[in-house]
Amino acid sequence: MAETPLLVISCDRYADLWEPFFAVFRARWPDCPFPLFLGTNHKTCEIEGVTTINVGDDVSWSSGVRAMIDRLDSDYAILFLEDFLLKEPVNTPAVERLVRVAREHHVGSLRLSPLPPPTPLPSRHVDGIEDLGIVLPGDNYRVSTQPAIWRLETLRKLLLPGFSAWDFEHLGTQLSAELDDTFWGPFTPTIVYDHGVEKGKWKPEGIEICRSAGVEVDLKTRPAFTQAELDAHLASAIPAMSDYAIRRDATDAFARGRRLQGLRLAMRGLQKSPRSLPLWTVVPFGVAGPRAIAWLQRRVLRGKIDAARRAYDRKVAEKSR
């Protein structure tokens, strides 16, 4: 286990979360056998037993994470974000077993818990390992920032220049279909956690997780949502998320040759957003068949990758002046 580091991905703007994160972490996982690292920009984490990896200025999320993992002397690592707070004591032997499984089977990514609903569980069981499933190409959030054991060579293929964390999950999920790497996940949680911060503010749940572990948070440095404010914020995001989900599901139906299902979904989306250019683009390609929609998906994906790369190059050029 000493050969598998646990990396907490962070940045200087979230330095106030380091103390509560590691205090909760150690309260609920006191016998963690994995070397602890924290990746950030310029600041140093002064917490005993935590090694800081400084990667310099924040140019893009993906380039920062890539610089962090390039400093790890390992082929596998466990990845967390700095606001993933443990809610229950961790079963260390269970996590150690998953690390051994990932290494023995050369798994590209092995999640430590199922993703939150409505993300589905893995599509089918791994042969001979009944508690683990295979996350197939086309499955939602096949690539995710949630806690997981990663083969670092697999991760590097998905950390393209200019990618945000959102790009990593959404574009990375599409990109992963072109890889030979395997993606697995459990049917039941190996660790139980929640993210404590939303849009830069503490969630009430995050504050409660800390307090239940005997940890107080500094609300002067980082403000908190009230429950009513958080509910209103989440409700405001539902329309955009719904539009995206309909477009994604319609495209997926067309890609699987289910034209009628794809058309029904697309029409539902167009009733809500009649001027949606992406949906109007998807429909004729979807009707033409799986090969046509697959061609469109590749073209759109490459366009987004190129746009992220151009934005990254501009930022690098600006910082070098």
CATH number of the domain within which 104 lies: 3.90.550.10
Domain count, the chain: 2
Model-level pTM? 0.92
Same domain, 64 and 147: yes
For residues 145 and 90, state if they share a domain. Answer: yes
Q: Are residues 251 and 126 in the same domain?
A: no
Burial bucket for residue 30 (CB in 10 Å: 0-12, 13-18, 19+): exposed
Domain assignment of residue 215, yes or no: no
Q: Same structural domain for residues 21 and 70?
A: yes
Minimum mean pLDDT range among 117-126, 176-185, 227-236: 117-126
- Look at residue 216 and tell me if it is in a domain: no
Is 297 found in the same domain as 176? Answer: no
> Could you tell me if residue 143 is inside a domain?
yes
User: What digits encode the pLDDT tens for the residues 40-84?
Assistant: 999 999 999 999 999 999 999 999 999 999 999 999 999 999 999
| Contact yes or no for 99/76 (Cβ under 8 A) | yes
In a domain, 213, yes or no: no
% of the chain at pLDDT higher than 90:
87
* 303 exposure class (CB count in 10 Å sphere: 0-12, 13-18, 19+): exposed
- Name the region of 134 (left: φ>0; alpha: ψ -120 to 50; beta: rest): beta
Query: Same domain, yes or no, for 38 and 147?
Result: yes
Last residue of a domain, one of 198, 215, 247: 198
Cα-to-chain-centroid distance, residue 260: 32
pLDDT at res. 141:
92
Co-location of 114 and 158 in the same domain = yes
The beta strands (E) that lie in the chain are given as 6-9, 36-40, 50-54, 76-81, 84-86, 109-111, 124-126, 129-134, 148-151, 183-186, 193-195, 197-198, 201-202
Q: With contact defined as beta carbons under 8 Å apart, do 252 and 120 qualify?
A: no
Q: Which of 198, 213, 235 is the last residue of a domain?
A: 198
Q: So what's the pLDDT on residue 241?
A: 80
Residue 220 is assigned to a structural domain of this protein = no
Distances in Å between the alpha carbon of 90 and those of 23, 28, 196?
A: 14, 6, 18
Question: Is 12 within the bounds of a domain?
Answer: yes
- Residue 203 included in any domain: no
Please check whether residues 252 and 179 belong to one and the same domain: no
* Per-residue three-class SS string for 199-260: CCEECHHHHHHHHHCCCCCCCCCCCECCHHHHHHHHHHHHHHHHHHHHHHHHHHHHHCCCHH
183-186 and 109-111 beta bridge pairing: parallel
Is residue 161 domain-shared with residue 272, that is, in the same domain?
no
In a domain, 170, yes or no: yes
Q: Check whether 254 has a pLDDT greater than 90.
A: yes
- Partners of 111 in beta bridges: 148
- 180 and 41 assigned to the same domain: yes
Report the run of H or E that residue 100 belongs to, with start and end.
helix 92-104
- CA dihedral angle for residue 320, residue 152, residue 195, residue 244, rounded to 10 degrees: 80
With cut-offs at 50, 70 and 90, classify the pLDDT of residue 238. confident
The answer on pLDDT for 2 being more than 80 is no
Same domain, residue pair 174 and 254: no
- Split at pLDDT 50, 70, 90, the class of 320 is confident
* Residue 254: domain span: 227-320
273/152 same-domain check: no
Of the residues 182, 198, 214, which one is the last residue of a structural domain?
A: 198
